[in-house]
Each structure stands twice: as C-alpha cells, then as structure tokens.
C-alpha cells in the first residue's frame, strides 16, 4: 500500500527578490492534510508573494515546493489548478459583465460532446454550489451588480467547484458582514472535516484563534515561527508579528506646523470607509497607517476625487473651488503620486521632461496659449539638477528607461511644479533601492520645510516613524487612532491596526 504523507504542502528555503526588495528569504513551513493554517504578518512580510508562487502566478528564485508528495515547479497557474490548488484573492477575480453562473463555470463550462453549454444543468449545479455558500444569490444575476463581499462568495464558489486539495484564502472576510463571516467559517470547517487543507491569510487575530489549527508568521520576508494556536497567546502572536520594536527618532530640526491646508470631515464611501476626519497643516507630514485593505489608498483617492466619495466635506488649500476631478483637485492645491507608478503615475513612452511637466505645462504658456519653451527647459533642468535625476541627459529619455527611484523623483518634481500646497504620496519608496529611498526621504522633508503639507501612505513602519509628525491609524475603513509620530513605536501602530487599542487621539 502506498504511504500517504502527512503534509499536503512542504515549502523549503523559498526565496524571491524584486529590484531593491528581498520579498522572501529562505522561507520554510508545512501545511498538513485537512488543516486550517493561518499565514500571518504585517504589511511587506511576504505573504502575497508566497501565495502567488504557490498559485503559479509568480516564479520563485530558489527553494523547493512539494505538493501532495510531488516536487512542483510552481511557475504555471494551470498546473497549480490541475494539481488541486485554488486561490481566492482579496480582490475577487471575477468578470463583472458575466452572470454569477457564468463566472463560477468560466473556463470549465458544462458542455455536451458538441461543445454546446448545457445551460439548464449548469444553472442547477450553480444553485447547488451556492446553496451552502450564498443561497440568496441568483445564478442569473450579473456579477457587476453585486457587493464586494458577494463577489468574494462567487469567487469562492468557483474555487470550490474545482474540488481543491488546498484552498488559499487571502483576507476573505475583509469586506463581509457578520452573517457572511459566520457562513464562511462554516464552509472552512466543512472543508477541514472533508480533508481539504486551507491556507488562511488574515489580519483579524480573532478569526485566527476561532478557525485555525496552526499559524505561520512571516516578517520582512523571513519565516519567524510555525506553531499550534493552542501554544500561542494573543499577546505573543502580536509580539511575534511586530518583531523588534522600532521607535521614532527625533528629527534634527523640529518643524512647527502652521495653518490647516486640507480639512477632511466625515468623509465616507459606501462599504469602503466612513466617518474619516482629519487635517493636514503647513509644514507637517501626516501618515495614514494600517494594514493592507484597511482603506488608506481609497481615502486618498476620495480626497483627490479619483473616486467620488458618497458624503462628507473637503476644504482644499484654494478655497471656494468646486472639485469633482483630479484635474480640479490639482488646481485647488492638492497633487497625488499614486501607488501604481507604471500604470497610474507615468506615461512610459514619453520623455522624462514631458512626464515632469504634465501637471504644470499651462503655467508656462502665454495668454495666447503658446508654450514658453525656454521656461520649460529651465524648469526641467533645475529639477533634474536639484533632485539628482539620473543618468546624465535623463530629461530626453523615455521615463520607462529610468530606475524606479529616479522615476519616483520625476513624479515628486511634477507634484512640486504643479504648485500644489498638499502632496498625497502613496507608497513613495515602493520598489526603490536603499540609496534612492534615502534621497526621497530627504526631498519629503525639504518639501515640508517649505511650508507644504504631505499626506503619506506607506506600508513600511520605519518610513512612517521616520517621517510622520502625526500617524492616523486606519482599520476597516475607519480612523481608530491618532499617534504623535515623534513618540510612537511600531508596536503602538501595529496594535492599533489589529484592533488591540481603544480609540485615542494625539490630544488625549
């Protein structure tokens, strides 16, 4: 009789690096058959990279993956599915204009021998699948009309239809209501009883202790611990996730904040964030901290009017202007550097000079609309020199040929040249090397020293503590805590983001 290995999944010395970032560094752990295994860690710990490698979406640099007794390459999504690995991501991979039924069967349609879809049978199977997951959903309903949590349930139904041996769930409850979460837990328990393994990624520790058998903690791309939950207390788990406590260091020159530049009151967007109120003043860096999916970027996009909020008020630096688009937000004194530099921040084929001037070219035009080319050249040359944008002659190169750090400096220059009084910086040093990061930090402090305000979003705790005057912790779309950046610690921020602290502001 063949010997059945106790572990369904074995990961040995798995490594993956991106430019300037070691996402995974020799990570090893196992997932047993019929086990619910929690994968935990703060932002940037390496969880997303790990599950993408397991799902075949990202190629590993080194290490070994054994699944169901066989060594696998881990570089083909179709092979991962065929072997029995299904992944339900935090952002559901569904097609909005297709129906619930069509999404569940997409790529695996129920057809007869002539290739014609058997609609009646497919609809019956869809109803049976949804019966234990989301009985209120109509198989004929377009997915585009569903709430995010309902789309998550459709993605789960599609994954379960494949009868996987390992189900990977990335923040499955992030957008769910309490009844939906209870139904989700019921599904997970039934899967465990049926012998299916579940790799469960979440920031909600209360869920970990309710549903998981064991937990693995990653920190800075490295494996820290794998342990049965019964051997870990809540406090121990938080300390393990946080690691060494990092404290803010006093700046050489304290910056005195001035008048409010940006005032946000009761900003809300249905199902995403609510009741968000804060100010950004002259000469200060205000950081939005929190875990992935907390709503930080969504709040910033709401302020910049990239996504229209449902309610609340925003007072911009230039008062009295109606703001309903990003272009109008720039005119009102707010500029934003988005997290996704490649698709939202730059025009890759355009030159550095053209990218730099995108938000300010009108300021260099005569009253007849003629561009003053000498002014433009002088402005570009000044920024290239002052920001040390490399290599020499970079202004004439397509911006896509520059390193990530130099591209980011071009975006900073563009924001400064726009004339905006408030800069929203979303992950400004993501994917840049250590030297470029230090230069960008220097530029940020120079900007606030000029009296501008910065709203910073960063997943790097040390960056937040090094730059922020005030830290606003966002949890599940709400502002739950405010900390003084010069006295805060990484543990303070993490505990608040995990819901372990009562609401408190910097003023008391």
**Mean pLDDT, rounded, for 344-348:** 86
| pLDDT band per the 50, 70, 90 thresholds, residue 433 | low
pLDDT at 459 over 70: yes
pLDDT of residue 422: 97
Let me know if residue 347 belongs to a domain: no
Determine how many CB atoms are found less than 10 A away from the CB of residue 87: 23
18 located within any domain: yes
Q: Per-residue pLDDT averaged across 136-154, rounded?
A: 85
**Of 36-40, 250-254, 282-286, 474-478, minimum mean pLDDT range:** 250-254
Strand positions, DSSP E, 419-486: 422-426, 453-457, 470-475, 478-484
pLDDT of 55 strictly over 70: yes
| pTM for the structure as a whole | 0.71
- The DSSP code sequence of 116-136 is -B-HHHHHHHHHHHHHTT-TT
Name which of 447, 363, 350 is nearest 399 in CA terms.
350
CATH number at residue 112: 3.40.50.300
Residue with tokens 């900073």: 412
Q: Which pLDDT does position 390 carry in this prediction?
A: 83
327 with 336: CB under 8 angstroms?
A: no
Q: Is pLDDT above 70 for 114?
A: yes
CB burial readout 314-353, b (16+ within 10 A) else e? bebbbeeeebeebeebbbbbbbbbbbebeeebbeeeebbb
- The model's pLDDT over 352-388, given as tens digits with 9 standing for 90+, comes to 999 999 888 878 777 777 888 888 999 999 999 888 8
Burial label, 270 (beta-carbon count in 10 A; 0-12, 13-18, 19+): exposed
What distance in Å separates the CA atoms of residue 325 and residue 27, rounded to the nearest whole number? 44
How would residue 504 be classed by pLDDT, with cut points 50, 70 and 90? very low
Which string of DSSP letters, residue by residue, matches 475-506? ETTEEEEEEETTT-BHHHHHHHHTT-S--B-T
Check whether residue 406 and residue 440 sit in a common domain: no
Q: Is 204 in the same domain as 299?
A: no
Biggest alpha carbon distance in the chain? 87
Q: What's the structural domain count of the chain?
A: 3
The pLDDT value given to residue 331? 93
pLDDT for residue 252: 41
Residues 182 and 71 in one domain: yes
- The pLDDT assigned to 263 comes to 97
Q: In what order do the strands lie in the sheet with 222-228?
A: 85-88, 166-170, 197-201, 36-40, 214-219, 222-228
Give residue 214's domain range: 7-242
Residues 316 and 449 placed together within one structural domain of the fold: yes
Verify that 497 and 374 share a domain, yes or no.
no
Both tokens assigned to 170: 């990335």
Reported confidence tier of residue 438, pLDDT bands at 50, 70, 90: confident
Shared-domain flag, residues 106 and 132: yes
pLDDT digits (tens, 9 = 90+) for 70-113: 998 877 888 898 899 999 887 778 888 888 888 888 877 777 78
Q: Are 12 and 64 in contact (CB under 8 A)?
A: yes
């Amino acid at each position: 009789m063949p010997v059945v290995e106790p572990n369904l999944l074995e990961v040995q010395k798995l490594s993956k690096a991106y430019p300037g970032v070691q996402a995974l560094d020799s990570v090893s752990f196992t997932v047993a058959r019929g086990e619910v295994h929690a994968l935990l860690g703060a932002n940037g710990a390496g969880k997303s990279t790990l599950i993408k490698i397991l799902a075949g979406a990202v190629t590993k640099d080194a290490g070994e993956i054994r699944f169901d007794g066989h060594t696998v390459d881990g570089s083909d999504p179709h092979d991962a599915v065929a072997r029995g690995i299904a992944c339900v991501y935090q952002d559901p991979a569904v097609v909005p204009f297709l129906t619930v039924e069509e999404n569940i069967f997409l790529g695996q349609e129920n057809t007869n021998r002539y290739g014609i879809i058997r609609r009646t049978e497919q609809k019956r199977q869809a109803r049976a699948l949804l019966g234990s997951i989301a009985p209120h959903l109509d198989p004929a309903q377009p997915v585009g009309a569903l709430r995010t949590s309902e789309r998550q349930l459709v993605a789960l139904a599609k994954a379960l239809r494949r009868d996987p041996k390992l189900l990977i769930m990335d923040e499955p409850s992030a957008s769910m209501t309490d009844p939906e979460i209870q139904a989700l837990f019921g599904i997970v328990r039934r899967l465990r009883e049926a012998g299916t393994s579940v790799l469960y990624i979440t920031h909600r520790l209360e869920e970990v202790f309710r549903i998981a058998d064991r937990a693995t903690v990653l920190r800075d791309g490295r494996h820290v611990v794998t342990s049965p939950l019964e051997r870990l207390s809540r406090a121990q788990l938080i300390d393990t996730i946080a690691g060494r406590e990092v404290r803010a260091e006093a700046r050489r020159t304290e910056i005195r904040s001035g008048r409010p530049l940006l005032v946000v009151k009761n900003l809300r967007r249905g199902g995403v964030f609510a009741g968000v109120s804060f100010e950004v003043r002259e000469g200060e860096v205000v950081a939005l901290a929190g875990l992935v999916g907390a709503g930080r970027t969504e709040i910033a996009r709401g302020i910049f009017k990239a996504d229209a909020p449902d309610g609340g008020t925003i007072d911009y630096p230039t008062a009295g202007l109606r703001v309903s688009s990003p272009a109008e937000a720039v005119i009102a004194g707010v500029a934003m550097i988005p997290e996704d530099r490649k698709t939202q921040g730059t025009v890759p084929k355009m030159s550095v000079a053209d990218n730099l001037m995108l938000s300010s070219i009108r300021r260099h035009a005569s009253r007849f609309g003629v561009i003053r080319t000498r002014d433009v050249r002088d402005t570009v040359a000044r920024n290239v020199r002052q920001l040390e944008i490399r290599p020499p002659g970079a202004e004439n190169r397509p911006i896509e040929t520059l390193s990530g750090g130099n591209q980011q400096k071009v975006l900073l220059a563009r924001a400064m040249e726009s004339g905006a009084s408030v800069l929203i910086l979303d992950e400004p040093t993501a994917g840049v090397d250590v030297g470029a990061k230090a230069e960008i930090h220097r530029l940020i402090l120079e900007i606030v020293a000029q009296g501008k305000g910065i709203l910073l979003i960063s997943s790097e705790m040390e960056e937040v503590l090094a730059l922020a005057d005030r830290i606003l912790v966002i949890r599940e779309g709400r502002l739950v805590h405010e900390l003084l950046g010069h006295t805060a610690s990484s543990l303070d921020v993490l505990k608040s983001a995990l819901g372990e602290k009562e609401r408190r502001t910097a003023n008391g």
